Every structure is written in C-alpha cells, then in structure tokens.
Amino acid sequence: QAVAQLRSTPSPSRNLTTCLSFVRRAAAQKAAALFLPEASDFIAPDAQTSLSLAQPLSTSPFVQGLCAAAREHQLPICVGEHPPNAAAGKMYNTLLWISAGGHITHTYRKLHLFDVSLSASNTQLRESASVARGPRIEDPVDTALGKLGMLICFDVRFPEPSLVLRHRGAQVLVYPSAFTVPTGRAHWEVLLRARAIETQSYVVAAAQVGVHDSVEEGGEGKRRSYGHSMVVDPWGEVVARLGGEGEEEEEEGKGRGNDEGGMLFVEVDLGLVERVRREVRLVRRIDVYPELT
C-alpha cells in the first residue's frame, strides 16, 4: 500500500493536481491502495472560506477527478474531503473509500471535532464552527488489504471507536490527519501506537504537513500541520514513517513550513495480525464492564 503526505492549500484544483501525482506514483509501484490525508481537498484560513469551497460529492471536481484516476489506474483510494451539510449550514469532515472501478463505495463522517485552545503555543482552532459531527461508526470495509476501519484525526484520542471497529472485525485502522505541531510533537506517535496495541491491528495514518497557504497568492495561513505520516503494526512497532515539522530549528520554534510532503510504501501482513491476536489473547471482562459493539 502507498501512504501519501501533502500540504493542502485553499485551492482544490491545485490539491487535486498534487493528489493525482501521488496516484500515478502509487500505481507505478503497483500499490494495492493509496491513502491520502484528512482534508486533502482543501485547508482554508477560516470557516467562511471553508464553507464556500465545500461541494457535493457528485459534482466536486476534486472528488470526481480522483474517481476517474482510480478507475484509470485500477487503484483504490482512501481520501479525506468536505461535502456540505446543507441542513446544518456546515460541512462534514468525510473519509471516502473509492474503489478500483472509480466508485465511492464507503463514507465515514468524523465523530469528534477538534475544538481546542492551547495557551502554551497560542493555538486556537474550532472545527465545529464549520463542520457538523458525524452520526455513527461505520462498519469495516472489505478490501484487498483486509477489513478496514475508517476514523479521522481527532478520533484517535478516543479508544472507543477503534475498539468497536475491532469488535466488528477490523484488521487495519486508518486515521488520516492534520495534527497541529504542538499536539503532534506530544501525542501523535503515542496515540497511533496505543490504538494499534489495544486493537492488535495495523494503523495507517496519512498526514498533512507544513504551512497551509492563505487565499492571497504567495501568502501563508496560520495553520501548520505536523506531518510524520506513519504505519504501525499490530505489535505496536512503527514500520514506516515520513518526516515533518518540528524537526528543524526547534529552539526557535520554527519548522520548514514549505514541506510539500512525500510517500511511503509498506506491506500489510494479515498473518501478523492473526499471530498477535492468537499469542496475546485479549479476553475482555464483559461481566464487569460493558462490551463495546
């Protein structure tokens, strides 16, 4: 499988061009699937701009462009984007599974929204200003990589959805993300490894990276993403990772900012999933606490 890391801008057309280059690279390496980050379609400087960019799946040039590319290259694509929720006057933070035939076969809408105020780093973000909460945990998707459980970014801080997906048969969990640098430095790897260990599953985390442009040409927005996309195996080992922000000039509190991302390739070994689950059996005490289903 291929895992891509990119720096989305407020331009869906520009972001589509970047994503299509990853599709071609993944297809050339005969990857079984391509995983793209949360918000691959756009990251905008404010809620109003974000809402103006949200388009229905059926008419979005970004989504339809990826569907056509999946069909052309016979490559399944997992990608985060933002269809509108007209009833709420907001949009959904959504994860799509696009089949090798170019059809959207599964969608997941983010359950937990990122509303934070970090005094130490002067970071304030309120995702709920423009995004509506998703209604449910979706069943795992049957893929060539195994049964895939779909979650998004901030969901990783809540073990319950991943445990529900594990109960429903998931062998691989995906967390496409756009972590901030302060939260990424402190928690990103720890959380991903914890979810892998708790569920004895692979965890695939494609991440946004760098400073996201403002609408003005040549400008830079306030939003900066951590990067460090990674894949964790069911034993909790990080088997592949990319770089990101927070690696350089940490003393000055600065990063590269203009990192344009990259791609990693990794094998998913379902035999390892079976072996870990067989050798370290997690027998839950559902006579003492409720089972998550």
Q: Please indicate whether residue 90 is annotated as part of the active site.
A: no
Q: Which of 38, 81, 138, 245 is labelled catalytic? A: 38
**Does residue 222 have an active-site annotation?**
no
| Residue among 110, 127, 147, 245 flagged as catalytic | 110
Comparing CA positions, the residue from 107, 110, 44, 109 lying closest to residue 78 is: 107
How many other β-carbons are positioned within 10 Å of the β-carbon of residue 36?
31
| 153 catalytic residue (yes or no) | yes
Catalytically active residues, by annotation: 38, 110, 153
